Structure 1
Amino acid sequence: MNRQALITARNLSVSFGSTVAVKNVSFTVQAGRCLALVGESGSGKSVTAHSLLGLSGGNATADELAVCGQDALSLSERSWQQIRGDSVSMILQDALMALDPLRPVGREIGDALKAHGKLPRAERQQRVIQVLESVRMPEPERRARQRSTELSGGMRQRALIAQALAGNPQVVIADEATTALDSALTALVLAQLRELKEQGRGVLMISHDLAQVAHLADDIAVMRQGEIVEAGVTAQILGNPQHEYTRQLLRAVPSGVPRFAPLSASSRPLAAPMQKDPAPASSALSANGLSKSFGKHAAVESASFEVPRGKTLGIVGESGSGKTTTARMVLGLQPPDAGTVELLGERFAPAHEPQRRKLREQMGAIYQNPLGSFDPRYSVGQLLADALSRGKSKRAAEYRVPVTELLEQVELSPGLLDRNPRVLSGGQRQRLAIARALAPKPSVLVLDEPVSALDASIQATVLDLLDRIQVETGTSYLFISHDLSVIEHMSDNVAVMHQGKIIEQGTTAQVFAAPQQEYTKLLLSAMPRLR
């Protein structure tokens, strides 16, 4: 079938001074089809996409760059303003940043129509409600009057999609539009993008998640260091990849990979899991009837679970299900309204801080955004010295041997000792966060979305590292994530949270193979899989 080419790029290059971010890439986006640009941060995907809107910020050159029938290389800024949102629109990753927190979302969508001189005011308001309904926004009239900060994460993303669709564009660019969403919301966004294809629009999907790409894309172009290293139809690329980098990306997808099997070819092989001597406590960590309310809202209700010694309990659920509030109560950062937490058989919460202090070094925490948890004044060495000395010293020279051992344990170079964490890569920062958490040799680590902000291959190496640390040290993990594929790969046991309650728990094999609750079945049915 001969389909209309809505976007054609032939030998497109984008440079910033002497730095070439995109080099001689060629592709087409056809009506009724989805092309996925896949690759990791810095591969040039987003710069390529922004070039199609005249927003690359650099010097764009090409043998041909046609956008909806127009020569994009010769367009004035005024012409670009007419094309953006009218012929081509973009759905961004972070809806909270993309939407104006001071204006109702309905006004933002209406202003997109107004900017193109479309529809009288009364008809614009009707169109706003219509497009919100099309993305299945609950109570669209009421939501249109609300600001983005008053909406849930899923509702904000729907509002952002509605804004992109308001002008009936021929091409929609989805730039990591599902990265921060749980599996149910991801499935909804992918379904809406699929509907756009069926309506005859072109979709350009930008992602590092090949499992999601497999469910939407007709064609794939794999980008690395500004170049397309492999391209073809989706079945060909995913079923018989020719380039080693493509194979690396596929290997890094955790869904369907057995427990402790490495995700990265660069990871060291694992020894047999460490067996600790029997201990008086039957579990490393146990929660009994934890509850927490904020005003009239019950964030967590009667949550009970156990983390066996040397094992991982994964807690999974969508945004707002109560996962992070549960983690904060476990860590003693939020007092429970009811219930208790026991660490190594002793009461940890609720408890007075002097009573808890003797146990505190037995539990560490690793968060999604490590940089936000580091003191910006400290170097890598100072952060680790502070953790090793229990806050008594920041002098890395006094702790050079244990600091070096910690860095080696998380596979970081001792040459980073004097660096500030700001100059480290995302993967290096997360390894540093793991090293800091391991400094007091804890028995339990609480990991709250520890890899959700990382690229696929970096995520793979961090997950492999966490596996190795558990095998070698016997540390127990409470692993919290909305990513079912990560939970499946990393967990021995799983607890499913919904609306503040643990509705189902069991071994990972039991829960994933034979879920008992309808909500669990819904989550699993929405989970993108490659294998």
Structure 2
Amino acid sequence: MQPLLDIQNLSIDFTTENEKISAVENLSLQIKRGEIVALVGESGSGKSVTALSLLQLLPTPPAIYAGGKILFSDSGVSHLDLISLVNKKRTSTSNSKIASINNPEIKEISDLRGSQIAMIFQEPMTSLNPVMKCGKQIAEALVRHKRISRAEAKKETLKWFEKVDIPDPEKTFHKYPHQISGGQKQRVMIAMAMCCQPALLICDEPTTALDVTVQKKILLLIKQLQQEQNMGVLLITHDLGIVAEIADRVAIMFKGVILEQNSTIEIFRHPQHPYTKALIACRPALHAKGERLPVVDDFLQPGQNPAVAATSSPPMIPHLNEVLVKVENLSVRFPVKRNLLGKATHYFTAVDNTSFEIYRGETLGLVGESGCGKTTLGRALLRLIEPSGGDILFQGSSITQTPESNLQHFRKEVQLVFQDPFSSLNPRLTIGEALAEPMRLFSDETKTQRRSSISKLLEQVQLSPKFASRYPHEFSGGQRQRIVIARALALNPTFLVCDESVSALDVSVQAQILNLLNNLKSELGLTMLFISHDLSVIRYMSDRLMVMKAGKIVERGDSEEIYRNPKHDYTKQLLSAIPKIKL
């Protein structure tokens, strides 16, 4: 039986003014009907470039197809070479200023997208049209490809909303993307991709940064629909737990090259390439607290012994008799309805009468689903959100009673590491200028002293001091996260709040950042509140753990004990949703 998709020796280059960069090199991969093939690798390995090439969504130029074929065979179409369509498109558009949809070559590509090959993109918020209602976006695809009326398309859309388990389909049909949650947006994307029943579905990191419970529902949904419609699926991810749960075969990609491919069972039981071994080994769930996580370089550098590289270092012992932060009956409420005079009549309670302590030198983990109040609680501790009730004591002094104008010392002592390092860095400032900004505000250092401090900070987070003259867009995601950590450390804080600071990173980059935070904690004596929805990361990083649901702390205690023997049903639910490698 011929494969649904047959990629043969595909090579893709990107051209710049000064050089030509190879993004994909001699890639060969096959996908059959009813099969899920996972393409696994770090950011920048060429996974998404490969996926976009299947739908011919790469801009040509700067992208250049340097060789190979992409053969697609389904519904009576025999060995259609998608690259040849790109070449026809380029020829037809170069001969006219405006490309017409009536052009047969362009129409052939357009007819294929959505109907026979569909894609679930990584970030649904940027993939959905923000000025078009959710239901209309799916109905538009149905009208275009199934040639049905708008009334029929609406009925079909509502059926798909029910199928992907979207609550209240009729209301969601008339909502805009910003009015629904991240998990619901991802479900809308799934409905849009699958409503025309394509033969091949491309899933590009479909669950990145989603809660484990939402992630599990999305994965089960994709698997169920794939089996119902006997689709072929290309799953692009860096999460090996997801791969182990739903993939039939796995291809490991690194710097544009597929290093090895095999059945999922064989890849996990008998990995052949050192890079594959590295990806499997650097997951926090496999390592004890305080143990250095192995990274990719440990496996790829000649003569390096990963077992030696991953030796344990004694964890910092918290001062359990010295409370640094004390929270008493803290509540945070947001108005959701106001009367004609502007007075709030209804409130949403994000943090509900919460009390706890954080001891000097400890890392307290805070885990829960999106919307449970984790980020609100973290920001309330820093007075970035005003509490509605209760008290916060820092080093024995109340900060809720302190006027904003008198919080300068507190601002110097506490810092926040944001979830998204790119949006938290000013794109117009160089890295050196971003690091110097808090120093200018809070210290009396001269310009020369600041330059020296910036160099030390960059070295502290394992970056070259030469990077100070570069801008944020010139760095990878892992490097940007290091820069954000360096900025948080610029004023030598006592207390650090890490808000989902590794949630969207590749597992290998995540290992580097977690190692860095552990090293800094030991070197600088930092106290941390570590917020995450990933219980395996929280278990690895934290001394104690709090589980939050709907604004309340439902379970607390030693992180290892809760991870091994959870008491509350909600904690058990979170743990059961973590993708596990059982092969």
Question: What's the counterpart of residue 518 of structure 2?
Answer: 467
Asked if the contact 2:5–2:70 (Cα under 8 Å) also holds between the matched residues in 1, the reply is no
Q: Does 1:252 align with 2:303?
A: no
1:395, distance to aligned residue in structure 2 (A): 6.0
1:215, distance to aligned residue in structure 2 (A): 0.8
- What is the rounded CA distance, in whole Å, between the counterparts of 1:210 and 1:505 in structure 2? 29
- 1:291 partner letter: S
- What is the rounded CA distance, in whole Å, between the counterparts of 1:319 and 1:130 in structure 2? 27
Aligned residue among 57, 65, 68 for 1:62: 68
Asked if the contact 1:385–1:394 (Cα under 8 Å) also holds between the matched residues in 2, the reply is no
Give runs of aligned pairs for residues 166-315 of structure 1, distance below 5 A: 166-199=195-228, 200-265=230-295, 266=298, 271-275=313-317, 282-295=322-335, 296-315=347-366
1:419, distance to aligned residue in structure 2 (A): 2.6
Question: What's the counterpart of residue 547 of structure 2?
Answer: 496
**TM-score in terms of structure 2 length:** 0.86
Asked if the contact 2:38–2:250 (Cα under 8 Å) also holds between the matched residues in 1, the reply is yes
Question: What's the counterpart of residue 397 of structure 1?
Answer: 448
Consecutive unaligned residues of structure 2, counting only runs of 5 or more, are 86-104, 299-308, 336-346
Consecutive unaligned residues of structure 1, counting only runs of 5 or more, are none
Q: Does 1:98 align with 2:127?
A: yes
- What is the rounded CA distance, in whole Å, between the counterparts of 2:420 and 2:515 in structure 1? 19
1:37, distance to aligned residue in structure 2 (A): 0.5
- What is the rounded CA distance, in whole Å, between the counterparts of 2:470 and 2:149 in structure 1? 57
Aligned residue among 47, 54, 69 for 1:52: 54
3-state SS in 2 of match to 1:515? coil
- What is the rounded CA distance, in whole Å, between the counterparts of 2:447 and 2:420 in structure 1? 24
- What is the rounded CA distance, in whole Å, between the counterparts of 2:472 and 2:7 in structure 1? 38
Asked if the contact 1:31–1:197 (Cα under 8 Å) also holds between the matched residues in 2, the reply is no
- 2:269 partner letter: G
Structure 2 CA distance for partners of 1:344 and 1:127, relative to 1, 3 Å: same
Q: Does 1:379 align with 2:385?
A: no
Instruction: Say which structure, 1 or 2, has more relative contact order (CA 8 Å, 6+ apart).
Output: 1
**TM-score in terms of structure 1 length:** 0.94
- What is the rounded CA distance, in whole Å, between the counterparts of 1:271 and 1:516 in structure 2? 30
- What is the rounded CA distance, in whole Å, between the counterparts of 1:223 and 1:153 in structure 2? 28
Question: What's the counterpart of residue 22 of structure 1?
Answer: 24
- What is the rounded CA distance, in whole Å, between the counterparts of 2:482 and 2:517 in structure 1? 9
- 2:26 partner letter: N
Cα deviations by residue, 1:14-51 (Å, 9 ceiling, x for unpaired)? 22233221111111111111000011111111111111
Aligned residue among 113, 122, 138 for 2:151: 122
- What is the rounded CA distance, in whole Å, between the counterparts of 2:544 and 2:411 in structure 1? 24
Question: What's the counterpart of residue 445 of structure 1?
Answer: 496
- What is the rounded CA distance, in whole Å, between the counterparts of 1:449 and 1:335 in structure 2? 21
Asked if the contact 2:54–2:70 (Cα under 8 Å) also holds between the matched residues in 1, the reply is no
Asked if the contact 2:328–2:391 (Cα under 8 Å) also holds between the matched residues in 1, the reply is yes
- What is the rounded CA distance, in whole Å, between the counterparts of 1:274 and 1:516 in structure 2? 27
3-state SS in 2 of match to 1:241? coil
- What is the rounded CA distance, in whole Å, between the counterparts of 1:318 and 1:201 in structure 2? 31
- What is the rounded CA distance, in whole Å, between the counterparts of 2:291 and 2:581 in structure 1? 16
Give runs of aligned pairs for residues 325-344 of structure 1, distance below 5 A: 325-344=376-395
Q: Does 1:80 align with 2:131?
A: no
Cα deviations by residue, 1:157-201 (Å, 9 ceiling, x for unpaired)? 111111111101111111011002110110011101111332211
Range 106-115 or range 483-492, more displaced: 483-492
1:255, distance to aligned residue in structure 2 (A): 2.2
1:503, distance to aligned residue in structure 2 (A): 1.5
Q: How many residues align?
A: 527
Question: What's the counterpart of residue 8 of structure 1?
Answer: 6
Aligned residue among 538, 542, 550 for 1:487: 538
Asked if the contact 2:48–2:204 (Cα under 8 Å) also holds between the matched residues in 1, the reply is yes
3-state SS in 2 of match to 1:36? strand
1:259, distance to aligned residue in structure 2 (A): 0.8
- What is the rounded CA distance, in whole Å, between the counterparts of 1:354 and 1:343 in structure 2? 17
- What is the rounded CA distance, in whole Å, between the counterparts of 1:166 and 1:382 in structure 2? 49
1:122, distance to aligned residue in structure 2 (A): 2.7
Question: What's the counterpart of residue 159 of structure 1?
Answer: 188
Cα deviations by residue, 1:329-383 (Å, 9 ceiling, x for unpaired)? 0011111001111222222224213443333322111112233333445433333
Range 127-136 or range 371-380, more displaced: 371-380
Q: Does 1:35 align with 2:75?
A: no
- What is the rounded CA distance, in whole Å, between the counterparts of 2:69 and 2:188 in structure 1? 37
